[in-house]
Structure 1
Amino acid sequence: MKAAIDIHPLRVAPTQSLLEVITLMDQGARHGSANKKPVSTKRSSYALVMDKEKLLGLLTERDIVKLTAKGIEPATVQVADVMTQHLITFQNSNLQNSFVVLSLFQQHHIRHLPIVNEYNQVVGVATPDSIRSNLQSTDLFKLRRVEDVMSTQLITATPESTALDLAQLMGNERVSCVVITQTEKSSTTSNPIPIGILTECDIVKLQSLRQNLSILQARSVMSAPLACLSPQDNLWLAHQTMNQLKVRRLVVTDAEDTLVGIVTQTSILKALDPLEMQSTISLLQQQVNQLKDERIHLLQERTTYLENQVQDTEQRFKAIFDQTFQFIGLLQTDGTLLEANQTALDFGGLALEDVIGKPFWESRWWSLSSDTQQHLKLAISQAAQGQFVRYEVDVLGVGEQVVTIDFSLTPVKDDSGQIILLIPEGHDITEKKALDQLKDEFISIINHELRTPLTSLQAAIKLLSTGKFGSLSEQGGRLLDIALINSVSLMRLVNDLLDIQRIESDKMGMAKQTCHATELMVQAAKMMEGMAQQYRVTISTTPISASFVADPERILQVLTNLLSNAIKFSNPGGLIWLTAKLHHIPNVSSLDTQTNDTSTQISKTEDSSGTKQQSDKASPEDIQKHPTEILFQVKDQGLGIPTDKLEIIFERFQQLDSSNSRQEGGTGLGLAICQKIIQRHKGRIWAESTLGEGSVFTFSLPL
């Protein structure tokens, strides 16, 4: 509280003239007496009239305004004649907090309280300005709004009023300021617009300057432009604004800039009055209780909503969990069964209580043999250590039914990475196993019962065509050629079927080794040279010096297959390009190498002709320094492929023109085999084409 006292009040002698005191107040002098040299600080709103150390009286700005309104000439009177003599003082020893001082301000309707020591000597003066200026961040001020304390009983005047008129108005109405207003012509209301303000301080200044107040108009002496507050602003903002602008009052305007009130430092300090604080606390308590009730109601509604959501989710999950065709459940890490879906229970002819809470391996499903149970125990132990376990096993169902399931155990971890649960799943693959067996038997029949006779048949036809067993008629020769072509096509179909089956069943071994791009490209071109001459097309090869790890026989199979297709669908005199280049993938780890969705694998653009072109995002320097894959391309000048066919051509038995394909000896399996081989090498393959201009087949292999 002591920091909020002005310890250097302006002191004047009783014999000094009123004009001299006014000048000292305006100039901001301290210790301004006949015996002491004034010390300049900030301007003062009051002066203590002292006879040595004895306090005689007090002169304030309001006193000066009243004297001005009465027309008293300041130079003709002494300050002792006009001072307030009967003063309220306060002992310094009783000064504990600002509430006592504020109570005295309100009780006696004063704004200046001299503070004296035990010898009745003045040690300072407390004012609303000194208290407010030393306020720190107060939560109470932040909770109160300007509209709570502002005064709406406003004294206004027009810009044409004289300063003397305004001084008389202040004296008569006992106010510290007058707001200067005008009514806008374009305004839809009669509410005045504040344009300036004149205060007691301004009157004192004018008197100090010896101005003729009777001829000065308000517009020439008012403070403008105004810094205005909104009724919704808090008192802490008002306090900070007053400190920043060094003023003791602020005008309050609404959204239309019309005058609605004024807030002063005295009205701000009313918020610290105990009665006002009690009222504020009561109001805040009501608001807190209201918010508490609203929050409880909101929480109840939210709880009810969440309970309904949980119930609906549980019902949906239970429906999905029970009706899924797979066997699924939930285990503790020690193998105790916590949950099993209805599909699994129905298969075993079991009720939920028959298996819940018991070791999983003791249930009927696993009772075929002790080996089956021991295998399951081992799998649970491995899964509890964090491994994903999967294997095929026979399980027992109702009526001694035995089925083969694809069984797995998935560990479930908590946020800390600890294994807390295991999810067992089983999918009935009995029919699939039977179909696989039939397929294997069929492939075996093709391999042994068709391939061998076809090989002998081809050899016999070729031998007959040599003429060693007699010459044939022209018609017989044509029939023999047809038989040879058909036998070759049939043998190609058998070989393709066997190849694709081996790849899908992982029975086709991949003898990977270091391969050289140049050697494979040259060898592929030589192998297809005869066919190219037959169709009267030219193969142009641009080898590249690069090495990679792959099965050379399978990559050669892909190259010859793509060249064969390009040759068959090229026009006579056409040109085919076999090229390769190194390529850089910016984010290799995010690439799905098991898909042929070219939209997510490589960036492409279209040129002016509509042909899709590859666009490498990496710079040439990056590609040279950090290549991640090699791209092989086979480009032709054939008829092209429709855009909607670019994806399906890699499916089995898919041909663009069945009649033409059969005429050229196509089986519809070549591109499917190519795709399988490239995928086994973790690469990609795709096609780009423009109708009437040709096609480009590209495949990549990681370096």
Structure 2
Amino acid sequence: MLADSPSPNSLTLINRAIISTPLTVTADALLGDAIAQMHQAKSSYILSTDQQRPVGIFTERDLVRLLASGQSTIGMTLATVMTQELLTLAAEDIKDVFEILHLMKKNRVRHLPVVDELGKLTGVITRQSLREALPPSSLLKFRLVKEVMESKVVCAPQATSLLTLVQQMAEHRVSCIVIADSNHRPVGIVTERDIVQFQTLGTNFSQTQAQTVMSSPLLPIQPHDSLWMAHQQMTQNHVRRLVVCMPDKTLAGLITQSSLLKTLDPNEIQQVVELLQQEVEQLRSENQTLIEDRTCELENQLRLSQQLEQSHSRLTATNVTLTTTLQALQIAQQNLRQANADLENQVETRTADLRQAEHRWRTLLENVPLVVVGLDHDGKVTYVNPFLLELTGYTASQVLGKDWFEQFVPSFEQPRLTQYFQQLLTQSDTAIQYQNIIVTRSGEKRMIAWNNTLLCDGNDTILGSMSIGEDITERLVIDRMKSEFIDIVGHELRTPLTSIDGGLKLITGGLVASDSEQGQLLLQTVAKSSQRLVRLVEEILDFECLESGKSLLTKESLNTQDLTHPATAAVQPMAKRSGIALKVSDPGFELVADRQRIQQVLTNLLDNAIKFSPDGSTIWLTVDTSLLSQPDHTESMVRFQVRDQGPGILPEQCKTIFDRFMQLDSSDTRSNGGTGLGLAICRKIIEQHSGNIWVESTLGEGSCFYFTLPKG
């Protein structure tokens, strides 16, 4: 029986369990479209409505039964397969969350549509939403998985077809099948939600084996783990069931959201609700106390205001007396004015000179492209010039009077900088030049080289410092890049030169005869090293021409087939030696580009794909079109794709792979003849064509390089 007056906390739990925006569609909708919506929304159901009233429901389990029966879903409408005898729940009748749990268990349903007094749909309650709404931490932490797990689990071998799995789901009325290996150890799982996804993708159920589509690896959970751990894993990984395994990886059972709901003792939950109610009452009492204290404070302020008004009246009376005295003083002041006139003239002249000097000084500081900051004896900011404000992103009001070291110096450098500042103020032999990092408002770090000057008053008392600094961040970056470039180029040049020098010394020294087999191998090594050296120098020169803008493009109207055919023909012999198949899909699109440069890009990408692909694999070259959104228009682009079945690239390497001398594996790259400049040159060529180049990769599956060019 429903409770007559539900508690506020009970209603709060119920409201949290109601999904206010359920997934809906009309009954005449195509079943395929409804399944696609379920897949896109990751929903286990879809409701059919007529004038906002629920008339039917279609669930993942309904789809499993339909597929198990062998019926075709093509052209079928939702009305022909949905459950029309729909159990609903009136919003006004909802009084207790446990009544809902009992109703769902009694009628063996997982979804309860909620309707208003007119029978219109206002939401839906599912077992998942109930589990997420109930406070599980205190109820599940001391319960074990083995207490509620299902020991009887339907399993299937890895080679079982999807159609067989669907039939087993329908026969045993289960929501999932555990996939086991030959030793009966679980290696994956196929769920009703997976079936919805495969149906949406048009998968051939009779030809697809479970091992190719199962969800793996399985999330680790054991019988002696707590239900709280199971609940957290379900929530964090967005799953509705977990496979329970023994420590030796053998199957122990299955735990689902329904299993978790079975453990929720109404008495325990009621205790939690009562504790929450007590906390609410306590907070309400504290709030009332605060209101009373605030009222008392306001009354005190009112009394103080009245006292101030009385004091103001007394001061007004006193002011009359002071006015009389002031008039006498004004007469005496007039006598002093004449005496001060000559002195004021002298002061004005001196002040004008000082103002002019100050104006020149301030104009210089406010326009110089250097960082200028003044600090007092305690390190508080007394002056900043506009260049410093522009560099750091602050306004003057946000900086003046603030502690320089706390606001601008990184925490790890603050002790060292504070010590240096104190030495600058107290020790005359302290160096006035210094370098340190400052942090801008956005968190960016800038390196500043300072020249520091002490500020003193007329008695030579030190008041603080005035520092002028130069931002040398970019200079340090450029110096580091130059150093790295010299080191890398030196290393890349030294490697082939060492091979050439060593081989020639062995032959010319008579240690190896040039006409012997070993001598011929040495000569081949010398020749390859020479070719690599020449190619490295040519690519360095080519890259520097592109980098400096000296290389001009010779653009012409082209068809993409004019580019893809020569490029594939150039690498075909190399691919054939490795048994690699080249598959080209190019309908032919018109564009304007530099023929030689784009062929260079395609050849480089295909060459790399062949070098890093296993023998007998396939490489795809695809050309299609895409749209690029610009701020004021949408531009049509031609997109080139080179996809391989190689080892793949790490995500962090995908971000830097187009940098110069960037190599995935230096040993493999050098054995394949790479210089580390090919992709950097490709990026420069594509950028000069107003295009874009990038890579997407999955480890163990392969990589796909893309670049786009404006369509002609």
Return the TM-score normalized by structure 1. Answer: 0.36
Structure 1 or 2: larger helix share? 2
